[in-house]
Amino acid sequence: MVIPRRIVTRFADMTSDEATDMILSAQTIGKVIEKEFDATSLTMAMQDGPQAGQTVPHVHMHIIPRRSGDWANNDDVYDELDGKQAAAGAKRVDNDERKPRSIDEMKEEAEQLRPFFNQYED
């Protein structure tokens, strides 16, 4: 997930510099995610406003690694983002069998990915 440093509700509320930074950050993060998670494509999704499905009142972009056949119907990924059940029989990256991760597990993953982003620290 990519978020701006300043908390804003809608994409249009961001400054031009913030929007540019967010998109360029998504590009950089996407390259790492694709490589490190052995993906061949990415879905980048932003739900901007309640009628678009935004449930958390701050701008954020999901970056989802994709592989051939990961969903039976390619657009089912959007049902997943909405918290709806995808098409029956679909092979999903994120599904009901996934166990919640502990803080330690997420910290370990962050430490594994950190070297790819050290050059971008300010």
* 15-36 per-position pLDDT tens digit: 999 999 999 999 999 999 999 8
Our answer to whether residue 60 is catalytic in this structure is yes
In the chain, the domains with their CATH numbers are 11-120 (3.30.428.10)
Q: How confident is the model at residue 88 (pLDDT cuts 50, 70, 90)?
A: very low
pTM: 0.70
Q: Give the torsion through C-alpha atoms of 23, 1, 93, 85, to 10 deg.
A: -100
Q: At 68, is the secondary structure helix, strand, or coil?
A: coil
Which position among 13, 25, 32, 60 bears the catalytic label? 60
